[in-house]
Each structure stands twice: as C-alpha cells, then as structure tokens.
A and B are shown apart, each in its own frame.
Chain A
C-alpha cells in the first residue's frame, strides 16, 4: 500500500553514464515533484508536473530531463552523470499545486552515487 514509491532505492554508477529513476504514486494526486537532497541534507525543488504538464523547472542542468507519462508517474532521466550529481533524489506528490492546505507526500528516496 505504498503511497509514493521510487526505484531504485540505491544507484551506483560511473561518470558519463546515463541513468533513470522512476516514481509512482497511488494517491490519485495530480501534481508530482522531484527534490534533490545534497550531502548536507539541504533539500531543493528541481521539477514539478501537474497533469503531465511541466509547471516548475528550477535552475537545473539540461542533462536532467523529467518525463511524466501519466498523472501517476514521474521519471527522472540524467545524462552524462557527474560526480556532483551524487545526492538523494526524492519524489513527492500532492493534490493541488499551491493550495494552502495541500501537503506533499514523499517517497523513500533514491541514493545516487557517481564514481
């Protein structure tokens, strides 16, 4: 009955490779997010989709490309991985973007290590 799930949980890869992280939510929410948590635990928004439409695209290298095939899925593809991409990536979902009472539900995170 996992609400927001991510795969894989751990990802170790070499510099220059291309990798994808997948996220699925079964809450019926219409908005999904990707956040990045760096080694100092600081969390920052990367992207957000509402009904498969990109609504937030923060200052992120264009090596990162999100894709939302439907409302329940939001994947993150990363090209030409760099050492600095090592982080924990969290997927989240919410019912209505910007609604004051709307809370975001987070997945367990994907720990990406680039060597």
Chain B
C-alpha cells in the first residue's frame, strides 16, 4: 500500500538557518505529492504540490522537487523565520485513490 515517511522531529533551528525536511514515499501508481503546514491551533494549509516527476513546487520561500528515482519530495527553505514554526506534513495522492496518505508530520521550531 501507499506510505509516506518523514524525518522525526522536532527540528530546532535558529532564524535565517537553512531548512531541509526529508520525505520519501512508496506508491503503486503515479502519485501527486504535497506539503501541508499546520500552525499551532489551526487546520492544515496546502504549502506546495507537484504532480509529476521533476516538477518543483514552491511557495513562501519553500521548495520541493518530485524525484521519482529516489521516491523523495524533500522540503527546503533557504532562510527560516520564527513565523515558520509549525508542523509540516508530507502527503501523497496516488492514482485512483481518493484520499491523501500523510506522513507522521515534522515539528519545526525556529528560535530568534
């Protein structure tokens, strides 16, 4: 079945540091890949997505590239801010499936 594996958190960084959150997946079809963000006390917001191999999703300074050869979709940001502190979820939507499969989430804490 489909699955998503994320690096365990929390990830603690200083402001302006470089961020990488690793995400790998297994899927039977040709999935679309997503990163969602959950700020404290709020629901999930779509951060970025990629629908096919080699696509790069980007938003608010975050980027992730769909790598089929390594089945990965790592999230990166060049310079994090305190306001980026949140839980980040990697997710996939496989061909023919009708619901997202989520990773376990990675908590990011950015210190001033």
Pairwise interchain contact A31-B98, C-beta atoms closer than 8 A: yes
Contact: B104 with A41, CB < 8 Å?
yes
Does A45 interact with chain B (Cβ within 8 Å)? yes
Number of A positions contacting B (CB below 8 A): 28
- What's the nearest-Cβ distance from chain B to residue A110, in Å? 10
> In the assembly, what is the distance between CA of A103 and CA of B33, in Å?
10
Q: Are B95 and A104 in contact (CB under 8 A)?
A: no
How distant is the Cα of A98 from the Cα of B105 in the complex, in angstroms?
Answer: 22
Q: Verify if B100 is at the interface (C-beta below 8 Å from A).
A: yes
Number of B residues whose C-beta is below 8 Å from A? 27
Q: A104 contacts B104, CB within 8 Å?
A: no
Residue with the highest number of chain A CB atoms closer than 10 Å, among B36, B46, B51, B100: B100
Q: Which A residues between 30 and 76 are near B, CB-CB below 8 angstroms? A: 31, 33, 35, 40-45, 48, 50, 55-56
B97 and A98 contact, CB distance less than 8 A: yes
Contact status A103-B46, CB under 8 Å: yes
Query: B102–A44 contact, CB under 8 A?
Result: yes
Least CB separation from B104: chain A residue: A42
Question: Could you say which residues of chain B place their CB within 8 Å of the CB of A55?
Answer: 98
Kindly state the separation between the CA atoms of A42 and B34 in the bound complex, as whole angstroms: 16
Cα A105 to Cα B30 in complex, Å, equals 22
The reply to whether the CB of B112 lies closer than 8 angstroms to some CB of chain A is no
Hey, which chain A residues are within 8 Å of B99, CB to CB? 33, 45, 48, 56
Contacts of B52 in A (CB 8 A): 100
Task: Known A-B contacts: A43-B100, A90-B44. Give 11 more (CB < 8 A).
Answer: A41-B87, A41-B107, A45-B100, A48-B98, A50-B98, A100-B30, A100-B52, A100-B95, A103-B49, A104-B46, A106-B36
Which of A's residues lie within 8 Å of B, judged by CB? 4, 31, 33, 35, 40-45, 48, 50, 55-56, 90, 92, 97-98, 100-109
Q: Which residues of B contact A (CB under 8 A)?
A: 30, 32, 34, 36, 38, 42-46, 49, 51-52, 87, 89, 93, 95-102, 104-105, 107
